[in-house]
Structure 1
Amino acid sequence: MIQLKNPGIGMTHHRNKSNYSRTGRFRKLFPLLMLLVLFSAGCDHGKRQQELKEREAQVAIKEQELAAREQQLQVLEQELKSRQNGMDSMATDTSFEYQPWLVGRWDVKMDCVETGCPGSAIGDTKTEQWEIAYQGRSIIARVLVNNTVTRVYTGSYDSQMLKLMSQSYEEDPAKTTVMHIRLQQVAEGRLEGVREIDRPENCRIVYNLQLTRP
């Protein structure tokens, strides 16, 4: 009698062989997969390190710029204090006399008579209103536009001349603007003089000033 082979045994053997084949392939590919993962992680880490170094370099540059700007501002502040001290010493002289007629509001007209700056031209006219007062022995002139203070001049009255100055502080210290004003009384309730504006790069503007009571 012919005995038939059990088909189940053959199928089981075939599946075992197939599983073994897949396992073998996986074992061969596993090291390669690990290398790819490690390589990818290494690239990401290197990229992050590079970005971190770039950010640190940018922060260092910003800190250096800030330190330089602070130093420049300190120098400018010291110069302003020195000038103010000089004005104060003049004002505290025994010849100091209070000038009550200066105190109060003045209408100011300015005519440009000299300019070496772009954006301005000879013949330009401006009008402002100033509030002049004493602060101790110094004179303060507040510039008003729509009743809002836009600038403050400080100075003194000496030898029948009112001398004022103002200095602006910009984000870039190289753009600092200095203004000097000299005025004399030409009649009761009337002052005349000049305002000189000095900016970097040989930029200078001169205005003729007329101050009258409103």
Structure 2
Amino acid sequence: MQKTSLYLSAIVIIFLSACGGDNSKSVELDKREAALLEREKQIDSITKDYQVLVRMRDSLSQINTVQLDTIIMNAAWTDSLIGEWESRLVCISTTCRGYVIGDQRTEHWSFLSDSTGLYLEVAGKAKSPKTYLATASANRNELTLKEQDRESASPASLLSFSEISSRQLRGQKRNTGADNCKLVFSVLLTPRSK
């Protein structure tokens, strides 16, 4: 009887240890499953980030194409504008303080271009030169001038030509001044003697 109870005790101990081993295997299997689910979440996140980056790359390549087209369209001045000019500006309309109709200015203008765009450099007698980024209209008779050294909030000037020839350029320059006042100058450009 003692042998039987000893055998039964041994069998019970073996079964209990076997069940305990299965429990640790079950816990280990649950841990692996949880790690696998976490890895799948990470892969989904990486895949979503990749798709966002691909869409961003595609949109940027479209923007670069538009910018390249604009630069190519505006990459050079027409032959009649290239070079250095003496300008005579006469105020013909104003709502700005400090200006009166008939005010005159004489400046030196240079029409420049490089791979980044079109520029107009303006040098007055008493002032340091200003550089304007120029955007030409399709027919090149109108230029929008944006002062390069100022913040983007500064208003642009509009320069329109009514007469373009190798001997002279005539037109108007429209500025918006402080407090949204308006200035209109008649413009006469003649080639600068070298």
Calculate the TM-score normalised by the size of structure 2: 0.52
Q: Report the structure number with the largest CA radius of gyration.
A: 1
Determine if contact 1:161/1:183 at 8 Å carries over to the other structure: yes
The counterpart of 2:165, out of the listed 187, 190, 196, is 187
Alignment correspondent of 1:132 = 111
Which string of whole-angstrom CA distances, capped at 9 and with x for unpartnered residues, describes residues 159-188 of structure 1? Answer: 141413123637xx98x4532222354332
> 2-side partners of 1:112 and 1:87: how far apart?
36
In structure 2, the residue matched to 1:169 is 150
Match of 1:204 in 2: 182
Structure 2: gaps of 5 or more residues: 1-64
Q: CA deviation at 1:98?
A: 5.4
Write out per-residue CA displacement over residues 120-161 of structure 1, whole angstroms, 9 at most, x where no aligned residue. Answer: 011111110011111226221111235975211222443141
Partner of 2:72: 92
Q: How many residue pairs get matched?
A: 126
| Structure 1: runs of 5 or more not aligned | 1-84
In the alignment, the residues of structure 2 paired with residue 141 and residue 135 of structure 1 have an alpha-carbon distance, to the nearest angstrom, of 12
Cα deviation digits, residues 84-110 of structure 1 (max 9, x gap): x989744524x9775233221101111
Q: Distance in 1 between matches of 2:76 and 2:146?
A: 23
Partner Cα distance (1:145, 1:161) in 2: 24
SS in 2 for 1:159: coil
